[in-house]
């Protein structure tokens, strides 16, 4: 009441108003100066948490809804480009809302921070990707500072315990971040000051070199070609740089974070066409005059597909360079002209971005192929790069520069041996000096759950006669039993399961003489689809330097002890499994070629002891499961003429069925 009586006085009312403003400002979380940080000041502040249901008896397992802010402030002399913040959560935090950044991994929300493989959760700035220096901005906080607002769930004990991350740092190797310290007075804040590892000789951003283009297995470039107040025209390009990676029937998706929607497209099309999300959303309320029946897609995460070749010259949706190949992208080592794909789209923006210069790319790119043989990719967030340049379409000696460009780098993920998703192809070994074929490993490409009750998933695969490679597994198992009886080999009980691979590859060591040696490579397609423009790669050890040529395939030594193999004209189709006249079982599609090697450059090579067998084999970019042993020499003396006759018959059968 006393404060109200004082406020009634005209002069004192102004004083009270200013006092309230000061109190309100002091109540806001302020980044700690960390003793005068002259680098990148990082601060994490837990603003509060509320107990939520279910209520549990264990105090440390009680869920709480929490609110927190993470702040980055550039207090140095070097701009921080494409910043990414690392937070190591240790209380089972589940992020539900992230504002001011996106997950670097592109994962969707809600996101369990402790279930991921990585120890730290990485957040990339969006839409503010860069933090400029105080010198170049006169200390403008809007340009030198970024704030990330987090809302989520954590599991911890009751107050006064403060559940904070265990570490706070930058995901930038150019900076060193000491361990974060707790604000003693507040108790709910962490801070650290990251300093550049090398001194900066420049104090002005204008002296910086242009932003370098990105490199990776697959690079997605997002170019804005035309910018208007409410719309812009974008060109999206997928560029394959992986020497052994390919995509068949690619599907590209991303997340709009600012209410954008796609009005039209050329060179590709969305998997779902419709504007229902716009009609009943803020887009429909703002753009009342637009005919949304002509809008192509309003999904927050659209999925885009390539057009078929028949639409390449379509006046409405085609006529874009590098489009319309059914989503096939080949490696440059096979066909550089078919190593990229592109499409255009017109994008509508929403407030507050209604300005020609307010341009933001989508985030969370994901790309996958339709074939099980295609690799899997993990894509980073789009990073601003120097604007793309395009040659003048009329032939003039000039270039057209994009308004703005971003690039997202996608990396082929490698599967550990224990991964739930096994390889899709496998390799068998055979040799002219051994009667038996070492088949693909048991469950090389996984085994269905039903197989565990009828066969062994751990027993080693049984040796086979050469002709059994042409048989489906059901008949192959019977032949393995017969072969084991003839050769007095052991038979596991239960019998081993099959390899379950859609593609199998046989490497047969054919000849070994004083001046060189040769091997025969045979591809088997057990799938239901023809494989066009296939390729393979074999990694050799000591034998690599002696490679000469392949006779039915095109083969090139490409370095890193890898021989790249692709089809010659007329052999680019690996046909699917079919039923043939004269046999009552399906026969795989197959192709084969002999590869020759010289010993002049590899005089100490021991072909039979293992140097004549590859250590790795890839098919259409996928690494195949390899045998765990090689053919032994022990049968060379015992087999004699019978071995050569059997192999000769098997070879003839293969050639006749081609």
Instruction: Provide the 10 A C-beta neighbour count for residue 561.
Output: 18
pLDDT tops 80 at residue 188: yes
429 and 508 assigned to the same domain = yes
pLDDT value of residue 644: 40
Of the given ranges (308-312, 345-349, 625-629, 652-656), which has the lowest mean pLDDT? 652-656
Calpha distance 165→192 (Å, rounded): 13
Domain end residue (candidates: 196, 227, 260): 196
Q: How many domains does the chain have?
A: 3
C-alpha distances (whole Å) from 608 to each of 364, 433, 601 are 50, 9, 17
pLDDT above 70: residue 475: yes
Q: How far apart are CA 263 and CA 190, in angstroms?
A: 45
pLDDT of 79: 93
- Out of 149-153, 269-273, 640-644, 647-651, least confident range: 640-644
Cα separation, 469 vs 657, in Å, equals 13
The model carries a pTM of 0.81
Spatial separation of the C-alpha atoms in residues 603 and 340, rounded to whole Å: 42
Q: What is the mean pLDDT of residues 193-217?
A: 71
> Residues 600-651: pLDDT tens digits?
999 889 999 999 999 999 999 889 999 999 999 864 444 433 344 344 444 4
Specify the pLDDT at position 634. 63
SS3 139: coil
486 and 635 assigned to the same domain: yes
Strand locations in 241-317 (E)? 251-255, 261-266, 268-270, 303-306
The verdict on 280 and 245 lying in the same domain is yes
Domain encompassing residue 36 = 29-196
Of 291-300, 342-351, 489-498, least confident by mean pLDDT is: 489-498
pLDDT at 639: 41
Say yes or no to pLDDT of 416 above 60: no
Rounded Cα distance between 343 and 251, Å, is 13
Q: Which residue has the tokens 């900066």?
A: 200
DSSP string, 574-635: EPPPEE-TT-SSEE-EEEEEEEEEESSS-TT--IIIIITS-SEEEETTEEPBPPSS---STH
Residue 208 falls inside a structural domain: no
Residue 284 lies in a domain: yes
pLDDT surpassing 50 at residue 657: no
Q: Does a structural domain hold residue 68?
A: yes
The answer to whether residue 3 sits within a structural domain is: no
- pLDDT at position 570 is 79
Which region holds residue 328: left if phi is over 0, alpha if psi is between -120 and 50, else beta? beta
In the predicted model, is pLDDT for residue 99 greater than 90? yes
Q: How confident is the model at residue 183 (pLDDT cuts 50, 70, 90)?
A: confident
**Mean of pLDDT over the chain:** 87
Indicate whether 519 and 548 sit together in one domain.
Answer: yes
Residue 646, SS3 per DSSP: helix
- Average pLDDT (177-192) is 85
23 CB-side CA count, 13 A = 6
- Mapping DSSP onto H, E and C, the string for 433-463 reads CCCCEECCCCCCCCCCHHHHHCCECCCCCCC
Q: Is the pLDDT of residue 535 over 50?
A: yes
Rounded Cα distance between 413 and 376, Å, is: 6
Q: Higher model confidence: residue 288 or residue 26?
A: 288
- Cα gap 86→66, rounded to integer Å: 18
Q: Which residue would you say has higher pLDDT here, 601 or 414?
A: 601
**C-alpha span between 489 and 479 (Å, rounded):** 13
How many whole angstroms separate alpha carbon 255 and alpha carbon 364? 6
Contact indicator for 620, 501 with CB cutoff of 8 Å: no
**Per the domain annotation, does 23 fall within a domain?**
no
Q: Does residue 438 share a domain with residue 576?
A: yes
pLDDT at 205: 45
Is pLDDT larger for residue 253 or for residue 10? 253
Percent of the chain with pLDDT over 70: 87
Residues 6 or more apart in contact with residue 658 via CB below 8 angstroms? 590, 591, 592
Same domain, 436 and 350: no
Residues 134 and 102 in one domain: yes
Report the SS3 class of residue 558.
strand
Percent of the chain that is helix, strand, coil (3-state, to 5): 15, 35, 50
- Do 59 and 185 belong together in one domain? yes
Q: How many other CB atoms are found less than 10 A from the CB of residue 408?
A: 25
Name the domain boundary from 382, 412, 442: 412
Residue 479 lies in a domain: yes
* pLDDT for residue 413: 86
Same-domain status, 241 and 275: yes
142 phi, psi to nearest 5 deg: -65, -20
Please report whether residue 11 resides in a domain. Answer: no
What is the structure's pLDDT at 641? 35
Predicted local distance difference test score (pLDDT) of residue 397: 85
At 280-290, the pLDDT tens digits run 999 999 999 99
Comparing 24-33, 76-85, 90-99, 134-143, which segment has the lowest mean pLDDT?
Answer: 24-33
Tell me the mean pLDDT in the region 120-126.
Answer: 93
Average pLDDT value for residue range 161-176? 93
| 289 in the same domain as 169 | no
38-49 per-position pLDDT tens digit: 999 999 999 999
What's phi and psi for 380, nearest 5 deg? -80, 180
- Give pLDDT, residue 117: 62
Q: Indicate whether 287 belongs to any domain.
A: yes
Which range has the worst mean pLDDT, 32-41, 262-271, 346-355, 429-438? 32-41
Distance CA 57, CA 360 (A): 47
Regarding whether 460 and 350 lie in a shared domain, the answer is no
Residues 468 and 595 in one domain: yes
CATH code: domain of residue 328: 2.60.40.290
pLDDT in tens, 417-463: 445 578 999 999 999 999 999 999 999 998 877 777 788 999 999 99
Q: How many CB atoms lie within 10 A of CB 356?
A: 14
What pLDDT does residue 420 have? 56
Q: Can you give 597-611 as a three-state secondary structure string?
A: EECCCCCCCCHHHHH
Region label for 519, one of left (φ > 0), alpha (ψ between -120 and 50) or beta (otherwise): beta
Is the omega angle on the peptide bond into residue 352 within 30 degrees of 0, that is, cis? yes
Pick the residue with more confidence: 521 or 188? Answer: 521
Kindly state the tokens that stand for 38. Answer: 């002259």
Q: Is pLDDT above 70 for 584?
A: yes
Answer with the one of 135, 163, 196 that is the final residue of a domain: 196
pLDDT value of position 87? 96
HEC profile for 96-118? Answer: EEEECEEECCCCCCCEECCCCCC
Phi-psi region of 656 (alpha: psi -120 to 50; beta: other; left: phi over 0): alpha
| Of residues 631 and 108, more confidently modeled | 631
CA pair distance 98, 294, nearest whole angstrom: 33
């Amino acid at each position: 009441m006393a404060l109200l009586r004082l406020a009634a006085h005209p002069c004192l009312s102004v004083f009270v108003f200013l006092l309230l403003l000061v109190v309100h400002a002091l109540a806001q979380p302020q980044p700690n100066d960390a003793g005068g940080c002259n680098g990148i000041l990082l601060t994490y502040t837990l603003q509060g948490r509320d107990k939520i249901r279910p209520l549990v008896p264990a105090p440390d397992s009680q869920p709480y809804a929490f609110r927190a802010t993470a702040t980055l402030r550039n207090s140095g002399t070097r701009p921080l480009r494409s910043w990414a913040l690392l937070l190591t959560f240790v209380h089972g935090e589940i992020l539900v809302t992230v504002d001011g950044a996106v997950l670097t991994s592109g994962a969707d929300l809600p996101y369990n921070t402790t279930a991921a493989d990585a120890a730290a959760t990485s957040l990339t700035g969006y839409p503010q990707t860069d933090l400029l220096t105080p010198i170049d901005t006169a200390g403008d906080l809007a340009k030198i500072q970024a704030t990330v607002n987090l809302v989520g769930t954590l599991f911890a004990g009751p107050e006064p315990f403060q559940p904070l991350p265990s570490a706070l740092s930058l995901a930038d190797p150019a900076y060193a971040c000491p361990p974060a310290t707790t604000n003693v007075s507040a108790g709910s804040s962490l801070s650290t000051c990251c300093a550049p590892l090398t001194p900066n000789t420049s104090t002005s951003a204008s002296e910086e070199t242009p932003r370098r283009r990105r490199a990776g297995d697959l690079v997605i470039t997002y170019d804005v070609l035309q910018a208007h107040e409410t719309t812009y025209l974008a060109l999206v390009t997928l560029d394959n740089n992986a020497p052994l990676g390919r995509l068949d029937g690619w599907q590209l998706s991303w997340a709009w974070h600012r209410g954008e929607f796609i009005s039209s497209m050329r060179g590709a099309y969305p998997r779902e066409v419709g504007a229902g999300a716009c009609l009943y959303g803020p887009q429909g309320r703002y753009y009342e005059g637009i005919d949304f029946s002509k809008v192509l897609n309003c999904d927050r995460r659209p999925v885009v597909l390539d057009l078929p070749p028949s639409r390449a010259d379509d006046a409405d949706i085609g006529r874009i360079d590098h489009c319309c190949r059914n989503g096939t992208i080949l490696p440059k080592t096979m066909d550089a002209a078919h190593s990229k794909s592109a499409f255009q789209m017109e994008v509508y923006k929403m407030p507050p971005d209604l300005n020609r210069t307010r341009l933001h790319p989508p985030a969370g790119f994901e790309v996958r192929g339709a074939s099980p043989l295609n690799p899997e990719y993990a894509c980073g967030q789009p990073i601003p790069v120097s604007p793309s340049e395009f040659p003048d379409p009329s032939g003039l000696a000039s270039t057209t520069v994009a308004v703005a460009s971003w690039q997202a780098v996608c990396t082929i993920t490698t599967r550990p041996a224990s991964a739930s998703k096994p390889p899709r192809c496998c390799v068998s070994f055979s040799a002219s000096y051994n009667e038996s074929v070492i088949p693909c490993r048991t469950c090389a490409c996984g085994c269905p759950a039903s197989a565990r009750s009828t066969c062994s998933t751990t027993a080693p695969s049984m040796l086979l006669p050469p002709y059994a490679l042409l048989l489906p597994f059901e008949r192959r198992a019977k032949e393995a039993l017969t072969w084991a009886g003839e050769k007095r080999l052991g038979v596991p009980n239960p019998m081993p399961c099959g390899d379950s691979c859609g593609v199998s590859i046989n490497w047969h060591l054919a000849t070994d003489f004083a001046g060189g040696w040769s091997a025969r490579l045979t591809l088997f397609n057990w799938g239901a689809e023809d494989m066009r423009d296939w390729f393979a790669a074999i990694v050799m050890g000591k034998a690599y330097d002696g490679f000469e040529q392949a006779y039915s395939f095109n083969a090139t030594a490409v370095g890193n002890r890898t021989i790249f193999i692709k089809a010659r004209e007329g052999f680019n189709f690996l046909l699917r499994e079919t039923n043939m006249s004269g046999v009552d079982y399906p026969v795989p599609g197959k192709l084969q070629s002999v590869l020759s090697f010289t010993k002049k450059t590899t005089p100490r090579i021991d072909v039979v002891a293992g140097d004549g067998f590859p250590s790795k084999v890839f098919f259409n970019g996928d690494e195949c499961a390899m045998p765990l042993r090689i053919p032994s020499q022990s049968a060379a003396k015992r087999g004699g003429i019978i071995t050569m006759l059997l192999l000769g018959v098997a070879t003839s059968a293969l050639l006749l069925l081609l």
